[in-house]
Amino acid sequence: MRAPHQLLNSRTQVRPRFALLPLEGIPFSKLPAWPETKVRVLAAPALGAEFVQYLLDVPEKCGTTQAADARVETFFYVMSGEFNLLAAGGSYSLSAGGFALIPATDNYQIQAASAGSLLMLKKVYEPAEGIMPPPLYVGNQSEVTAEIYLGDEGARLQTLLPDQIEFDMAMNIFTFAPGRSLPITETHVMEHGLYFLQGKGVYYLDDAWMEVETDDFIWMGPYVPQSFYATGPTPSRYIYYKNVNREIPL
């Protein structure tokens, strides 16, 4: 929110193939299945995305109970707070950095043990002949090795979900030391839903460099050229979704 003496200029960009959405510009809304929760819709089909991504501010003892619809899978990432997840007959405690992929066939319940924020991503699971859908998968980023990315020690990639054909999505965390970058400008058919967790930098989207910082959301559609330089005094970190491991439907 701008103070009354400030200008209303914004870094927001919405283009056919990408969007840069600083959080301050996204209004709160509500969802029937999340009583008392303050909801921000980050990505949606209306933007061009083939998935939906939300940021949920969940008060203590609030959450949701969801019945499986055998169609949509859900990924949670805990930004802050403590959450209890009940799914597939198990009970899991998720603190900051915790995550879970809930298959489309599982009922689940998630509740805030202490107030916190969740990133939630939903997509229609893409079945593939002869491939079993993935099971419930729960973890914490602290247990995932930060691998050196393409030979650069200053660029580290954490692959939160197993790199196995059952999974039709990847959720990864990139950490860049100040001054480091992606080694190339990538162009690929996969989409991204990217949430900037820490630091700042400049992102190349389509045909221009733009400044980005903590709490920015970026949607990248298919084939948007993309690259990143980390600037600023601290490491920069972002979590991103990518659709993977499936043929492109015709």
Binding site for ligand UGY (CB under 6 A): 174, 182, 186, 192, 226, 240, 242
Q: What does the DSSP assignment read for 32-95?
A: TTSTT-EEEEEE-GGGT-SSEEEEEEE-TT-EEEE---SSEEEEEEEEEEEEEEEETTEEEEE-
How many other CB atoms are found less than 10 A from the CB of residue 225? 16
φ, ψ of residue 130 in degrees (nearest 5):
80, 0
Nearer to Mn ion, 70 or 150 (CB): 150
Nearer to Mn ion, 126 or 186 (CB): 186
Interaction partner, residue 174 (ligand UGY, Mn ion, none; CB < 5-8 Å by kind): ligand UGY
Nearest approach, Cβ of 228 to ligand UGY (angstroms)? 6
Given CA atoms 153, 213, 123, 136 in this order, what sign does their dihedral have?
Answer: positive
Nearer to ligand UGY, 125 or 174 (CB): 174
Q: Residues 158, 144: contact at Cβ < 8 Å?
A: yes
CA distance 103 to 68: 8
Residue number of the CB atom closest to Mn ion: 186
Closest CA to 31 of 60, 54, 51, 59: 54
Considering only residues 147 to 186 of the shown chain, the ones binding Mn ion according to CB under 5 A are 186
Q: Residues 125, 68: contact at Cβ < 8 Å?
A: no
Nearer to ligand UGY, 19 or 56 (CB): 19
Q: Residues 178, 232: contact at Cβ < 8 Å?
A: yes
Nearest approach, Cβ of 218 to ligand UGY (angstroms)? 8
Nearest approach, Cβ of 181 to ligand UGY (angstroms)? 10
For residue 46, give Cα distances in angstroms to 43, 51, 190, 232: 8, 10, 18, 33
Nearer to ligand UGY, 229 or 240 (CB): 240
Nearest approach, Cβ of 44 to Mn ion (angstroms)? 20
Q: How many residues bind Mn ion (CB under 5 A)?
A: 1
Interaction mask 181-210, Mn ion, x per CB under 5 A:
-----x------------------------
Nearer to ligand UGY, 105 or 231 (CB): 231
Nearest approach, Cβ of 217 to ligand UGY (angstroms)? 13
Interaction partner, residue 246 (ligand UGY, Mn ion, none; CB < 5-8 Å by kind): none
Residue number of the CB atom closest to ligand UGY: 226
Binding site residues, Mn ion, CB under 5 A: 186
